């Protein structure tokens, strides 16, 4: 879909719950953040819609779980094939609704295809194991679906961050109720529903309910939703954990990050600056894996900052529909104002603005800061904008202490000429991922993804073992030929 299309999309004025229908809440306007132009409306959902969706999902899930695994795999394979044949069906709405640059939209669409393929393979993964037993019996542990999985997805990579829960949950025999961020209701939900619907997903297994915080809270608290998968800020994740705890609900929280890039003294500076620009500025820095802290050895610092500032100054920022623009808009004015306040606050406290620090509407220039104090919010907090704060270190122990001092533990990058020595440092880094000679921003459907500390808790996403742990329960079964006799 593009902004100037005259054809009414399937989601116009509707939500997806046992097919396309009107909701019982107020309609939500779909807006292009770069231009402020209205792209259409979707139906807003209420708690009554949620109750209806959960009841429908519970009924549909039973037959879905009992169906041959090949049926589940076939739907996901067809969805992948449909998207591969027409990637524009997702890319265009990612550009328009989420402010994605065309390269980022293409990258995200490719991730969605990979997730669909890997989830289709997950359906045929061994579902249990034979256990040893001291008794003459068959003893086995098997994986069984949880039932209804609730998913709350964010605005930044809306399609893949929703689908990485939706697709494996469906593959393993669950039904799903998805609440996308209201700013990306289409790219984060309804466009995926249209794809899976066309691929033949049986009715009632996926429900996409656009809405705000009240609807999300109701999904968290719903007694018939035993599992919740949330991707979003650490602050919101803490609130969800508090509300879910009395229900003893299984909760998977993929939260924020303030990810460090460690540039060792033997690194190629020009190459490091290239990785750094990708890590800090991709999608305007609105990624949980964004490089938010640059730790550079003193011997390289001046050259590194100059190279990174040169790259920042050369990146075109503007309408993401124009493929010449590398960066698009921030998601809204509130986020822009927060980013700018962190930048100006750091400068007011002594940091040096080397590049950027300016904006036009929601278009924020890629920004490089040096001399940021260790306790300054621009260094300690997740900025979620295209800002690269740089600090200098003198020895590796100092650098590792700075990395681990953060409350977050999502992704770390080490850039070096000696990757084997860098590998030895991984034991000393508290992080869910460490990438040697690559960016902090990295994701593959085959790899377990998740963070430590304030970056997340619960199961991981990606890879067969992680997804089995996240979206199934273990059931122990024993079987013997005769009734056991007990002497009393």
Active-site residue list = 254, 288
Task: Give the pairing type, strands 411-415 and 433-436.
Answer: parallel
Distance CA 362, CA 36 (A): 10
Largest CA distance in the chain: 84
Distance CA 485, CA 473 (A): 30
Residue 120 sits at the vertex; the CA angle it makes with 115 and 126, to the nearest 5 degrees, is 120
Burial of residue 198, with CB atoms counted within 10 A of its CB: 0-12 exposed, 13-18 middle, 19 or more buried: middle
Distance CA 400, CA 434 (A): 13
Q: Helices 69-85 & 88-98, crossing angle to 10 degrees?
A: 70
Ranges assigned E (strand) in 382-427: 387-393, 408-409, 411-415
Distance CA 293, CA 314 (A): 21
Q: Are 385 and 285 in contact (CB under 8 A)?
A: yes
Distance CA 89, CA 11 (A): 13
The H or E element containing residue 128 is strand 128-131
Distance CA 344, CA 359 (A): 12
Q: Around Cβ 313, how many Cβ atoms within 10 Å?
A: 13
Strand partners, 360: 363
Residue 201's nearest CA partner among 85, 66, 69, 64 is 64
Distance CA 304, CA 391 (A): 11
Distance CA 41, CA 28 (A): 5
């Amino acid at each position: 879909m593009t902004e100037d299309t005259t054809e009414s999309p399937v989601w116009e004025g509707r939500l997806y719950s046992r097919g396309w229908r009107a909701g019982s809440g107020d309609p939500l306007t779909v807006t292009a953040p770069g231009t402020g132009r209205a792209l259409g409306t979707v139906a807003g959902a209420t708690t009554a819609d949620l109750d209806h969706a959960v009841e429908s999902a519970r009924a549909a899930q039973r037959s879905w779980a009992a169906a041959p695994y090949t049926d589940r795999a076939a739907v996901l394979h067809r969805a992948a094939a449909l998207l591969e044949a027409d990637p524009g069906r997702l890319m265009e709405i990612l550009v328009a609704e989420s402010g994605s640059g065309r390269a980022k939209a293409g990258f995200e669409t490719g991730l969605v295809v990979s997730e669909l393929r890997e989830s289709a393979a997950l359906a045929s993964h061994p579902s249990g194991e034979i256990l040893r037993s001291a008794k003459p019996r068959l003893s086995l542990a098997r994986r069984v679906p949880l039932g209804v999985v609730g998913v709350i997805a964010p605005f930044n990579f809306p399609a893949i961050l929703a689908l990485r829960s939706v697709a494996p949950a469906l593959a393993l025999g669950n039904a799903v109720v998805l609440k996308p961020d209201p700013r990306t209701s289409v790219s984060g939900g309804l466009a995926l529903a249209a794809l899976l619907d066309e691929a033949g997903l049986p009715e009632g297994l996926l429900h996409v309910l656009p809405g705000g915080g009240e609807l999300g809270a109701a999904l968290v608290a719903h007694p018939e939703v035993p599992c919740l998968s949330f991707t979003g800020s650490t602050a919101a994740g803490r609130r969800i954990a508090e509300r879910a705890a009395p229900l003893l609900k299984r909760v998977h929280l993929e939260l924020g990050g303030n990810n460090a890039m460690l540039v060792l003294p033997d690194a190629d500076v020009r190459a490091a600056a290239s990785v750094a620009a990708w890590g800090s500025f991709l999608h305007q820095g609105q990624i949980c894996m964004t490089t938010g802290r640059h730790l550079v050895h003193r011997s390289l610092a001046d050259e590194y900052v100059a190279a990174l500032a040169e790259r920042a100054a050369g990146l075109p920022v503007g309408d993401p529909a124009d493929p010449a623009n590398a960066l698009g808009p921030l998601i809204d004015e509130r986020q822009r104002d927060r980013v700018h306040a962190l930048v100006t606050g750091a400068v007011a406290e002594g940091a040096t603005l080397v590049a950027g620090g300016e904006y036009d509407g929601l278009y924020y220039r890629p920004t490089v800061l040096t001399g940021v104090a260790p306790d300054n919010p621009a260094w300690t907090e997740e900025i979620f904008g295209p800002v690269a704060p740089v600090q200098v270190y003198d020895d590796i122990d100092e650098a590792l202490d700075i990395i681990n001092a953060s409350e977050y533990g999502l992704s770390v990058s080490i850039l070096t000429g000696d990757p084997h020595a860098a590998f030895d440092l991984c034991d000393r880094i508290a992080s869910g991922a460490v990438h040697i000679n690559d960016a902090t921003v990295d994701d593959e459907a085959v790899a377990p993804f998740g963070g430590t500390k304030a970056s997340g808790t619960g199961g991981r996403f990606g890879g067969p073992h992680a997804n089995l742990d996240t979206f199934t329960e273990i059931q122990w079964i024993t079987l013997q030929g005769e009734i056991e006799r007990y002497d009393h």
